[in-house]
Structure 1
Amino acid sequence: MTKTVAAVAAPLAWSNWVLPRLKLELRGRTVANAGFATGYALAFHGRPNWLSASGLGYGLASAGVVAAGYGAAVAIPVLRERLDGFADRAPDVPFDEWIAIHIPIGTVYSEELIFRATLNPLLDNAFGPRGGALIGAATFGLWHIHPARAAGDSVLATIAATAAGGLVFDLLRRRTDSATAPALLHFALNAGGALAPHLAAAGSPSSRPASATVT
């Protein structure tokens, strides 16, 4: 039980206390998060099973559904206008770098290795599948307290939303015995959430040059 408590406490302390006090820029946070996740998985014997065929299949299918949803949102004018308002939330790094490096490594790799590959199986062993799923989801939600504060988002809403996402990610992990499926879905959600507002802003009337007026 002591090992399980430590496995729950370590990521919460890292995300909400240690990492913020390092005062790193995004590139530094990506490296630090990936390093912490790798060390955490080694210390608690994580098993991501990245090369799972079923994980890849379920992950690609889930990611495809998400991508289709974002595509529809960009295509529908009313939804595109709503997305346009989120375009200014991109971090202070090149957009391509954010999508290609910081989301997949700093967020997806780090969080899926910590939670779905390592913590959730430990919680299953200690509390059973149902208890493990609920505690794992709650811990995943609480991991986001400081990021929500830093972004100026509602902390309670963020915890609730990410905990719900954690339940879905864990369901995929259980279905495939792999962290690959939740990682692909996680990437689709986060990368799509970055790309869709960017595309919406590029396609909005206010972003287009004014037509020449013939007099």
Structure 2
Amino acid sequence: MSRLRVAGTAAAVVIPPAWNNWVLPWLGLGIRGRTAANTGFATGYALAMRGRPNWCAPRGVRYGLVSATVVAAGYAATLAIPSTRHRLGEFADRSPEVSAAEWVAVHIPIGTVYSEELVFRATLDPLLDKAFGTRIGALLGALTFGLWHIAPARAAGDSVPATIAVTSVGGFVFGWLGRRAESAAAPAFLHLAVNVGGAVASRLGRRLGGFRSG
């Protein structure tokens, strides 16, 4: 591998965590500003690194819809069981600055799913696969995705090591699905189902379980 290619690959790995953990928090933006900034960053990153999202690939859409349906069924089953419904209702509200509708319709799909899938599955994973092979590329991509979540974990008061571990596993699954479908659409649908489903299910769990806010 040439020095130029090594430098380019290293930059591709370092830039996303640096953006999300240092630059974006330093900007001090509200949630709407963060969504706009993340969208711009992801788009610029993908253009600069020649990302290949293949959003409209039929197989990607098909795999994504199937995966999302499985996740939705899992949330529905969890809500149907009183004990697990109660556990869902205990999760903290992660969207205090905006309405639930705005959170699930704008900030999760655009600020989180579009941005992260464009950066990681559409752009970084193919670069790492080309440089190191699929096995090592998958592990490096997943770990970088985990490191992306350090600052959000601190802001939410969550365990940083646990967050890195969980999101790295999630990144590995998203990456596997994206490689299999040859499209970022598949992990994007799955990612959307997990995040939107979690936000909606936790609220339904609180409502059905009799929780009161404040």
TM-score range, shorter chain: over 0.9
RMSD: 0.9
**2:157 aligned residue:** 152
Runs of 4 or more, structure 1, over 6 Å off, are: none
Residue number in structure 2 paired with 1:46: 51
Q: Which of the residues 72, 75, 91 maps onto 1:86?
A: 91
Q: What's the counterpart of residue 135 of structure 1?
A: 140
1:109 pairs, out of 99, 114, 136, with 114
Q: Give the TM-score of the pair, scaled to structure 1.
A: 0.94
The CA deviation at 1:3 is: 0.4
**1:91 to partner: Cα distance:** 2.7
CA deviation vs aligned residue, 1:94-129 (integer Å, no higher than 9, x gap): 110000000000000000000000000000011000
Give the match for residue 170 of structure 2.
165
Q: CA deviation at 1:22?
A: 0.3
Task: Pick from 8, 19, 22 the counterpart of residue 17 of structure 1.
Answer: 22
Deviation at 1:88, TM superposition (A): 3.1
SS in 2 for 1:153: coil
Deviation at residue 87 of structure 1 after TM alignment: 4.7
What are the ranges of 5 or more consecutive residues in structure 2 without an aligned counterpart? 1-5
Aligned length: 207
Which of 111, 121, 125 in structure 2 is aligned with 1:120? 125
Task: Name the aligned partner's letter for residue 99 of structure 1.
Answer: V
Gaps of 5+ in 1: 208-215
1:26-105 equivalence runs, <5 A: 26-105=31-110
User: Which of residues 9, 13, 17 in structure 2 aligns to 1:8?
Assistant: 13
Measure, in 2, the Cα distance between the counterparts of 1:172 and 1:91: 32
Give 1:189's aligned residue: 194
Residue 212 of structure 1 corresponds to none
Percent same amino acid at aligned positions?
65
Residues 56 and 181, structure 1, Cα contact 8 Å, conserved in 2: yes
Q: CA deviation at 1:206?
A: 4.7
Could you give the per-residue CA deviations for residues 65-98 of structure 1, whole angstroms, max 9, x where no partner exists? 1001111111110001111111533331011000
- Write the distance in 2 (CA, Å) between the matches of 1:190 and 1:159: 17
Q: Does the aligned pair in 2 maintain the 1:91–1:98 contact within 8 Å?
A: no
Provide the residue aligned with 1:213 in structure 2.
none
Alpha-carbon distance between aligned partners in 2 of 1:91 and 1:164, rounded to the nearest angstrom: 27
In 2 relative to 1, CA 175–92 (structure 1 residues): closer, same or farther, beyond 3 Å?
Answer: same
Report the TM-score, using the length of structure 2 for normalisation.
0.95
The structure with more radius of gyration: 1
